Amino acid sequence: MKQTIIEKIISNHCGREVKAGEIVWMNLDYRTARDFGGANVVKHFEKHFASEAVADRKKTFFTFDCNVPANTIPYANNQQICRVFAQNQNLRVFDVDAGIGSHVMIEEGMVLPGGTLVGTDSHLNIFGSVGAFGQGMGDQDIAFAFRYGFTWFEVPPTMRIILNGKIKHPATAKDVVLAVLGRIGSKGALGRSIEFSGNVVESLDLAGRITISSMVTEMGGIIGFITPNEDILSRLKLLSGKYTLQPVHPDEGADYVETIEMDLSSLEPLAAAPPKPDNIKKVRDLKNVKVDSVFIGSCTNGRFEDFKVVSNVLRGHKVKPGVMLKIVPATKKVFGEMLKSRMVEELFEAGAIVSNPGCGGCASGQIGMTGKGEVQVSTSNRNFRGKQGDGETYLASPAVAAMSAIRGYICAP
């Protein structure tokens, strides 16, 4: 049988060859719950498996990232419920100082090519960036996965998206994924796995690959795979301490439901205008849009490399008076890199507000909320009405976000 990447990974985790459309029981390498939804996972576990233990303590954990440290009583209660459960079950908690759970898992070397992980985060398909399978699921499904270490899953069909050309400054990986969204729309990958390939994808570093995979949710997709090259494998080997990593490649002649090819040689900075992530506009066509605030962070653009771009754009400039520039590193490790490089000092001097690691405004948690009539440029992945407050949010790259903070209107470097 000629198989796609998702068919191979699931086959390896259920002990037999599978094909798209089958419903299977799939073994899980890791299972997680975050502060949003985690308390409900505990509730379902205690209701159905009251006196039982989780399947494997070393493979089961909690991540707190939506609202950290908790600034509402409900979030504080949810986090404490998870902590108490974790203590009773002897589980690890990546607490409020750790950062975005999906990024922490990559940094910890837990997520490796060909692996499987599920949790309560709708953007766990970010793991496609390292050739692994990740999936957000409901509270009851995750409680079941906690107890038994496997879950049921319908093997999705796969489409190919081939991205050729060579992107040039000031276009970035964020513009690449916005271009794909503009091409296929919010339902273009509905219920499908995507395999990304081509010159553009091959040239991306890990941060850029994370940006691409993290927005597959906004295409309706299940997962977006980017097969790791030698540079990515070398980094993953250092993170995990494992030196025999084997990326999963599709078979030649595998069955794809659709193949889309795009030439991005002339790609320019793009933005997603409210109220949908697939409402794609050229940044140069938005030059009359006045900006009140800018949020740079989230699982889509919260890496050190993203903030390096921001720092370079801001150097020698100041945030325009009346504009708030809010910056949230993805993880404690990223924050540490920013401190050691004195980047935080540079951003502070330019007029930015730098907060602790986490999801920030993207999860309707803390920094990054907007008021009615406020226009925000955000590097996150969603701009639905109410997602980041009552204002209007435009999605763009860190480069566009930083330049917009300097000028006070949407523009690119």
Q: Which CATH number fits domain 158-263: 3.40.1060.10, 3.30.390.10, 3.30.565.10, 3.30.230.10?
A: 3.40.1060.10
Distance CA 10, CA 98 (A): 30
Distance CA 98, CA 68 (A): 9
Q: Please, where in the chain does CATH 3.40.1060.10 lie?
A: 158-263
pLDDT given at position 394: 97
Which residues of the chain, if any, have pLDDT below 50? none
Backbone conformation region of residue 185, classed left if phi is above 0, alpha if psi is from -120 to 50, else beta: left
Q: Please, where in the chain does CATH 3.30.499.10 lie?
A: 23-154, 270-407
Question: pTM for the full model?
Answer: 0.95
pLDDT given at position 365: 64
Distance CA 366, CA 368 (A): 6
Distance CA 163, CA 49 (A): 47
User: Under CATH, which architecture does the 270-407 domain have?
Assistant: 2-Layer Sandwich (3.30)
Q: Which residues pair with 195 in a beta bridge?
A: 160, 225
Q: What length does the chain have?
A: 413
Distance CA 205, CA 193 (A): 21
Q: Is the CATH number 3.30.499.10 carried by domain 23-154?
A: yes
346-359 confidence digits (pLDDT tens)? 999 999 999 999 98
pLDDT given at position 361: 78
Q: Which residues pair with 93 in a beta bridge?
A: 62
